[in-house]
Structure 1
Amino acid sequence: MTTRVKICGITRLEDGLAAVRLGAHALGFVFYAKSPRCVTPEVAASIIAGLPPFVTTTALFVDAAPDYIEQVVASTGVDLLQFHGNESAAFCGGFNRPYIKALRMKPEVDIAARVREYPDARGVLLDAYRAGVPGGTGEAFDWARIPVSLRPQIILAGGLNPDNIRSAIEQVSPFAVDVSGGVEAAKGIKDHNKLKQFIEEVARADKS
C-alpha cells in the first residue's frame, strides 16, 4: 500500500512542480484570507494550468460563502474541495465536486461519531486542535487517539515533517498524509530539500 502524499499551501508554480516531480499525488491551495498561504483564484488557476496530468488539485475553505466557493471552482477547475470549518455535510456536498472534511482533534471529540456525520465525504482529514486556528498550526496530536478501524481511511495532518513522518505512518498506517508548514522555507514558500526528504521518508515507511 502506497501512502498518498498531499502538499498543501502551494503559492508558486515552481513549488507545485517540484512536489509533483518528487512524488506528491495531490496539491492544496488555500482560500482562507487569514492564512499566510492564501492565494487568489487567479493565482491558483495560473499554477494549476501549469501542472502535469494526474495530479489532484484541492481547494481549501474555512466557512466560506457559497458564492465564493463557486467562483473558485469555476475559475480554477479544482478536482476536490476541502472544508476546515463548521460546514455541514449538506453544505460540503453542494458544489458539484467531491470533498474531504477536516476534523480537528479536540480533547473531547468522538472522531468515529464525527466521521459518520459526513457519509458522502471522499475522505476525512484529521488535524491538530488549537482554539481559534482552523489548521496549519504546525502541531501534532496524539495519533493513538485515532480509532484503529478508521486509520486505513483517514488523511493524517498536523505537525508532520521529515523527522516524524516515518513514525507517523508506521504507527497509524493512514491512507494519505497532508503537510504544509513542515516542508517550508517560509510561510507559503516550500523548501524543495524538505519536500524531497519528506516524500523519501514516506516511501521508507511504506517499505518497512
Structure 2
Amino acid sequence: MIVKVCGITTAMDALTALDAGADAIGFNFWAGSSRYVKDTAFLKELPDDFWRVGLFVHEDPQRVLDLMAEHRLDVAQLHKMDAIAGIRVWKAISVDGVLSQERIDQEQAEAVVLDTPAGALEGGTGRSFDWELAAGLKGKIVLAGGLDAENVGLAIQRLRPWGVDACSRLESEPGKKDRAKMRAFIEAARKEFDAVC
C-alpha cells in the first residue's frame, strides 16, 4: 500500500514528504497546471528511494518517454492518453458514475488513479467524489480527489485502496505545500493502512 503526494514543485517540499514517509511523489509536466514543474533542476538533488511519478495530459508519447529518461521518472501517470509501451503506467480516471470492474481491468496500466472530475483543470480541485461509486473494485486502485488528514482514514476504511494520493488540500497556495498538512496526511494514511493490513 502506497502513499503519494502530488503537485510537488520544490526540493524542500519533496524532502519533507519523503521524510514523513511518502512512497511516491508526483511531478506535474502539464503546462496548463498551476503545479507545472517549470524548473526541474531540483529533481537531480533528490534521493532514489521513492517512486518518481510524472503526470502527463494529452502529451506526445515520445515526449513522455524523453522526460521519463531525462528525469529518471519511475511511473507515467497518464490523463486522457492511451498507455505507452515499455514504461510503468498509472491511468487516471475521472469518476463521474459507477465504475465497473471491467473498466478497471481493461486499462493497460499497472494501477488506476481514481480522481474527481475537474474539467479543464485535470485534477487538483480539492473536492472528493462519492466513494461509493468505486466500492468493491479490485486491483491496484489509487484513490485521489479531496483527500487530507481529516478524511483519508475513512477513505481507506471504506475502499481499502492500494494507494492514496493528495495534492491541493495539502497546499498553502497552488504549487506550494503546507508542510504540516503534508506530514499530517501521510501520518494519518500510514496509521490507517497499518490498521487494515
Q: What's the TM-score once normalised by structure 2's chain length?
A: 0.91
- Whether the aligned pair in 1 keeps the contact of 2:3 and 2:190 (CA below 8 Å) is no
Distance 1:199 1:114, change over 3 A: same
Task: Report the secondary structure of 1:148's partner residue.
Answer: coil
Indicate the residue corresponding to 1:5 in structure 2: 3
- C-alpha distance after superposition, 1:168-206 (max 9, x if no partner): 111111110011111111111111100111111112323
Q: 1:16 aligns with which of 14, 30, 53?
A: 14
Q: CA deviation at 1:105?
A: 0.4
- C-alpha distance after superposition, 1:65-109 (max 9, x if no partner): 223213312321211100011x22xxx223x321100111023x5
Indicate the residue corresponding to 2:166 in structure 1: 179
- C-alpha distance after superposition, 1:14-73 (max 9, x if no partner): 000000000000011001111000013xx33x2332222321001100111223213312
Say if 2:180 is the partner of 1:193. yes
Residue identity over aligned pairs, in percent, reads 33
Counterpart Cα distance in 1 of 2:4 and 2:28: 13
Tell me how many residue pairs correspond in the alignment: 195
The gaps in structure 1 that reach 5 residues or longer are none
Q: 1:122 aligns with which of 110, 116, 122?
A: 110
Indicate the residue corresponding to 1:49 in structure 2: 44
Task: Report the secondary structure of 2:77's partner residue.
Answer: strand
AA partner of residue 113 (structure 1): E
Q: CA deviation at 1:207?
A: 4.1
Say if 2:47 is the partner of 1:58. no
Indicate the residue corresponding to 1:25 in structure 2: 23
Say if 2:124 is the partner of 1:136. yes
AA partner of residue 23 (structure 1): G
Q: 1:101 aligns with which of 56, 79, 91?
A: 91
Counterpart Cα distance in 1 of 2:54 and 2:194: 31
Q: CA deviation at 1:144?
A: 1.1
Q: What's the TM-score once normalised by structure 1's chain length?
A: 0.87
Counterpart Cα distance in 1 of 2:190 and 2:24: 16
Indicate the residue corresponding to 1:154 in structure 2: 141
Over the aligned positions, Cα root-mean-square deviation in angstroms equals 1.7
Counterpart Cα distance in 1 of 2:88 and 2:193: 27
Task: Report the secondary structure of 1:70's partner residue.
Answer: helix
Indicate the residue corresponding to 2:78 in structure 1: 83
Task: Report the secondary structure of 2:121's partner residue.
Answer: coil
The gaps in structure 2 that reach 5 residues or longer are none
- Whether the aligned pair in 2 keeps the contact of 1:84 and 1:135 (CA below 8 Å) is no
